[in-house]
Amino acid sequence: MIDFANLASEFGTPLYVYDATEVRRRIHLARAVFEGLDAHIFFAVKANTNPALLSLIKMEGVGADVVGPGELEAAVRAQIRDLLLNGNGKTPAIAGAFVDAGGSYVSMDTPDELSLWHDFPVKRLLRVNPNIVAGGHKHIATGGNVHKFGVAPERIPEAIGYLDGLHVHIGSQILDPEPFREAYTAGVNLAQSYKLKLLDIGGGWGIRYGHDERDLDLDEFRERVVLPVLRPFDGTLLVELGRWIIASAGSLLLQVISVKKSGKTFVVVDAGMNALIRPALYDAWHDVEPIRPRGPRCLCDVVGPVCETGDVLAHDRELALPDPGDILRIANTGAYGFSMASNYNGTMRPAEVLVDGANTTLIRRRETLDDFFATCSTQFRTSHATQRNDSDSHSSGEPHESN
Ligand code: LLP
C-alpha cells in the first residue's frame, strides 16, 4: 500500500505518484495476450514521457513509440533502442533525429511521406484507415475516414515497392473487442494480399475509469481477436500501448484550498485542468477520494484554481466532505495526465514520484519560476517610439527592455 499522506507531506502537492509494481503487472498481462505469437510491444510515450518510467518499462523488454522530439529524447535517455515513430506531420528534423537514435520502425501517415525515408534504413509501414469508428470520446476516435489519420487502403499501391508493413490504430479507450476484431481482420487481409510481413495493430485498450466500466477483457480479446484473427497472420505484429500500461499506476495528489457553498458545494483544490485536462477536455471520469475520508458524504464539484468555468475535475460527485488542507487522490491518472499538463494561469506543473516497493524516487521535481521563464526574454526589438527607453542612447530597432 502506498502511503499517499506521507508522500504529499514529503513532496508537496500537486504531485503525480506512480506505482512500479502496477506498471510491471500491466506489462505482463499485455504480454500474455500475445503468447505464442511473434509480437513486439511498444509503449506509446505520449501517455507519459517521464524518462524514469521509460527506464522501468524498458527493463520489462518494451520498446517506445514516439511522436515528438521530446518523446524521442525521453526514450533515448532511458536507453531504449527499440523505437517506432508515429505521427501525421513528420518533419525532416524528426526523421533525422529518429535515425540518429537508431530507430527502426516508421509508420507513415501517407505515401507522400516516402520522400522523407528514401535514404534511411528503416522499416516502413503505411497507416491505413479501415473506416471503423471506436473510442471513448469523439476526440480520441481515429479510425474513421473523416479522421485525419492514415489513408484509405486504395492508396497502398502508391507505396507498395517501398513498404514493409501496414499500421491500423483505430482509437483510444476502447472497451469492446469487436471494433478491434473488424479493424485487424481488415489489416491482416490487406497485409496478406500485398505480401507484407509487418502489421502494427496500434493501441487503444480501454481501462476502467468509472464504476460502471471494466478494463478491456483480455481473455475475451485473446479468444475473439488474437487467436482467430492475428495468430494466422504470417509475420510480425507491433503493438503500441499507452493507457493500458500506465494509467492505473498513476495517482494525482491535490490539496484542498477551500470548501465553498454557493449554488453547489465546491471543493477547490490546488490544481485542476492545468495538471489534469482529461475531465475538462473529454468529460472524462476519474475517481476522487480524500486520502483520509472523515466528513459526512456530500454532493460536490471538485474544481481547480484556474480561471475557466470548465476547470472541473469531478462534477456532482458524492464524497466525504474534506476540509482545507486535506489531500485528495485522483485515480487512474498515469496516462495523459502529466503529459498533457500546462502552465496555464502561470501555474507550475506538478512533481512526479515513482514508488517501487519500499523505495520512493522523485523522478521530476516541481517546476520553478526560473523554469517557467527559461525560454523567455524581456528584450525585444521595436520601432515604436513609445516603447523606447527614456535614454536616447538606443535608436529604434535596437533591443529594448520592456516595462
Ligand atoms: N498508437 C497511436 C498511433 C496513437 O495515436 C495512440 C494514442 C496510441 C497508439 C496509444 O493509445 P492508448 O493505448 O493509450 O489508447 N489524450 C487522450 C488519448 C489520446 C490518444 C492518442 N493516441 C486521453 O487522455 O484519453
pLDDT digits (tens, 9 = 90+) for 253-263: 999 999 999 99
Mean pLDDT of 95-106: 97
∠ CA(162), CA(166), CA(170), 5° rounding? 145
Q: Has residue 4 been placed in a domain?
A: no
Cα torsion at 45, 48, 51, 57 (round to 10°)?
-70
Mean pLDDT of 377-392: 73
| Domain CATH number, residue 100 | 3.20.20.10
pLDDT digits (tens, 9 = 90+) for 43-82: 999 999 999 999 999 999 999 999 999 999 999 999 999 9
Q: Has residue 397 been placed in a domain?
A: no
216 and 268 co-located in one domain: no
202 and 288 co-located in one domain: no
**Which atom of ligand 1 approaches the CA of 174 most closely?**
15
Per-residue pLDDT at 387: 53
Integer Rg of the chain from CA: 24
204 and 79 co-located in one domain: yes
| Domain CATH number, residue 324 | 2.40.37.10
DSSP 396: T
**Residue 286: Cβ within 10 Å count:** 22
Q: Has residue 1 been placed in a domain?
A: no
Q: Which residue has the cell 498481462?
A: 29
Average pLDDT, rounded, for the chain: 94
Domain count, the chain: 2
User: Residues with Cβ within 6 A of ligand 1?
Assistant: 44, 46-47, 65, 86, 140, 169, 172-173, 202-205, 240-244, 278, 282, 335-336
207 and 280 co-located in one domain: no
Instruction: Identify the domain containing residue 193 by its residue range.
Output: 20-244
238 and 360 co-located in one domain: no
**Which atom of ligand 1 approaches the CA of 47 most closely?**
14
Q: Amino acid letter at 161? A: G
Mean pLDDT of 389-395: 50
Per-residue pLDDT at 402: 44
Whether 388 has a pLDDT exceeding 60, the answer reads no
277 and 308 co-located in one domain: yes
Secondary structure of residue 279 in the 3-state scheme: helix
Q: Has residue 134 been placed in a domain?
A: yes
Catalytic site positions: 307
237 and 299 co-located in one domain: no
Per-residue pLDDT at 389: 54
Residue nearest to atom 9 of ligand 1 (CA): 203
Percent of the chain with pLDDT over 90: 88
Q: Has residue 376 been placed in a domain?
A: no
* Residues 314/276, Cβ–Cβ less than 8 Å: no
Cα–Cα distance list, 158 to 110, 151, 341 (Å): 9, 11, 39
Whether 307 has a pLDDT exceeding 90, the answer reads yes
The alpha carbon of 88 and the centre of ligand 1 are apart by a number of angstroms equal to 14
More confident residue, 393 or 380: 380
Per-residue pLDDT at 256: 98
25 and 42 co-located in one domain: yes
258 Cα distance to chain centroid: 30
Q: Has residue 218 been placed in a domain?
A: yes
Per-residue pLDDT at 397: 47
pLDDT bucket at 403, cuts 50 / 70 / 90: very low
Per-residue pLDDT at 130: 82
Per-residue pLDDT at 132: 80
Q: Has residue 393 been placed in a domain?
A: no
Residue nearest to atom 7 of ligand 1 (CA): 172
Instruction: Give every CB contact of residue 376 below 8 A, 6+ residues apart in sequence.
Output: none
Among 95-99, 234-238, 381-385, whose mean pLDDT is lowest? 381-385
263 and 226 co-located in one domain: no
Residue nearest to atom 1 of ligand 1 (CA): 202
Q: Has residue 325 been placed in a domain?
A: yes
The alpha carbon of 204 and the centre of ligand 1 are apart by a number of angstroms equal to 6
Residue whose CB lies within 8 A of the most ligand 1 atoms, among 86, 108, 172, 338, for a mutation test = 172
Examine the fold and report which residue of 244, 271, 286 is the final residue of a domain before the chain moves on.
244
**Which atom of ligand 1 approaches the CA of 167 most closely?**
3
Report the C-alpha gap between 388 and 381 in whole angstroms: 10
Enter the C-alpha cell of residue 335. Answer: 496516462
Per-residue pLDDT at 205: 98
The alpha carbon of 206 and the centre of ligand 1 are apart by a number of angstroms equal to 10
pLDDT bucket at 400, cuts 50 / 70 / 90: low
pLDDT digits (tens, 9 = 90+) for 135-151: 767 776 776 777 889 99
140 and 262 co-located in one domain: no
The alpha carbon of 84 and the centre of ligand 1 are apart by a number of angstroms equal to 14
179 and 36 co-located in one domain: yes
Examine the fold and report which residue of 244, 267, 297 is the final residue of a domain before the chain moves on.
244
**Which atom of ligand 1 approaches the CA of 240 most closely?**
9
pLDDT bucket at 393, cuts 50 / 70 / 90: very low
Residue whose CB lies within 8 A of the most ligand 1 atoms, among 243, 313, 332, for a mutation test = 243
The alpha carbon of 138 and the centre of ligand 1 are apart by a number of angstroms equal to 13
The alpha carbon of 66 and the centre of ligand 1 are apart by a number of angstroms equal to 11
Total count of residues recorded for the chain: 403
Cα–Cα distance list, 220 to 181, 217, 232, 240 (Å): 11, 5, 18, 19
207 and 278 co-located in one domain: no
Examine the fold and report which residue of 244, 270, 296 is the final residue of a domain before the chain moves on.
244
